[in-house]
């Protein structure tokens, strides 16, 4: 499924109009990042309950510094290699669209980054997309999109004038 179709599916599955609007505004960020990766779909290792398997990494130079990542593999065989040695319940590799993977990263507060492996057979070099960077890019996109439409998604109470604070909305009946 191409990137535009993946975005359309994400929009179709949005729980409400507000979420759909946010997805629509964020879509250029998802698409831009996805275009920098090598595949339209990746395999993510999951539990039978479809929970992503996370890996905690420590810095070689500062072992106390840790981050939690989810790996996205280009092939099912690479994902199977990634599963080897994990002592856990049976795990599965599930194919997912890259847009869906990026979107889900936003909801996973415990995950610091995704690592996408683009070359089959090579799980030593990947492209890291940090959750904080993705969130920042989307926040910027939402602000720009909202400003273009004449409304702010996060009103700043300190900037409201007295009339705005005390007036009844015109559509209130």
**pLDDT by position in tens, the chain (length 173):** 999 999 999 999 999 999 999 899 999 999 999 999 999 999 999 988 889 999 999 988 988 899 999 999 999 999 988 777 666 668 899 999 999 999 999 989 999 999 999 999 998 899 999 999 999 999 999 888 766 665 444 444 444 333 333 333 333 33
Does the residue 25 lie in any domain?
Answer: yes
Check residue 139 and give its pLDDT: 93
Check residue 98 and give its pLDDT: 98
Write the burial class of residue 108 (CB in 10 Å: 0-12 exposed, 13-18 middle, 19+ buried): middle
Does the residue 168 lie in any domain?
Answer: no
Does the residue 170 lie in any domain?
Answer: no
Does the residue 27 lie in any domain?
Answer: yes
For residue 111, give every residue at least 6 positions away whose Cβ sits within 8 Å of its Cβ, in sequence order, or none.
Answer: 52, 54, 68, 69, 70, 105, 131
Which residue's entry shows tokens 């996973």? 108
DSSP structure class, residue 171:
T
CB atoms within 10 A of CB 116: 23
Q: How far is CA 114 from CA 15, 20, 43, 160, in A?
A: 24, 24, 12, 39
Check residue 15 and give its pLDDT: 92
Does the residue 98 lie in any domain?
Answer: yes
- Asked if 138 and 29 count as a contact pair (C-beta separation under 8 A), the reply is yes
Domain that residue 142 falls in: 3-150
Check residue 150 and give its pLDDT: 52
Does the residue 173 lie in any domain?
Answer: no
Q: Which two tokens stand for residue 127?
A: 């492209």
Phi, psi torsion values for 82, nearest 5 degrees: -65, -25
Check residue 129 and give its pLDDT: 97
Does the residue 169 lie in any domain?
Answer: no
How many separate domains does the chain show? Answer: 1
Distance in angstroms (rounded) separating the CA atoms of residues 73 and 123: 8
Q: Which two tokens stand for residue 152?
A: 């702010």
Which residue's entry shows tokens 């040695």? 85
Phi, psi torsion values for 124, nearest 5 degrees: -100, -20
- pTM of structure: 0.80
Does the residue 23 lie in any domain?
Answer: yes
Check residue 82 and give its pLDDT: 79
Check residue 69 and give its pLDDT: 96
């Amino acid at each position: 499924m191409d990137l535009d179709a993946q975005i359309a599916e994400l929009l179709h599955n949005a729980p409400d109009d507000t979420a759909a609007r946010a997805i629509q505004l964020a879509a250029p960020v998802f698409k831009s990042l996805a275009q920098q990766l090598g595949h339209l779909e990746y395999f993510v290792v999951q539990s039978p309950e479809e929970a992503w398997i996370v890996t905690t990494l420590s810095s070689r130079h500062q072992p106390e510094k840790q981050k939690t990542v989810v790996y996205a593999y280009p092939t099912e065989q690479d994902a199977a290699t990634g599963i080897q040695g994990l002592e856990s319940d049976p795990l599965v590799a599930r194919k997912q669209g890259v847009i869906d993977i990026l979107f889900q990263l936003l909801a996973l507060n415990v995950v610091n980054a995704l690592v996408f492996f683009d070359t089959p057979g090579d799980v030593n070099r990947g492209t890291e997309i940090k959750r904080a960077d993705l969130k920042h890019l989307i926040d910027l996109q939402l602000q720009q999109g909202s400003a273009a439409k004449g409304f702010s998604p996060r009103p700043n109470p300190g900037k409201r004038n007295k009339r705005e604070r005390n007036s009844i909305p015109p559509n209130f009946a």
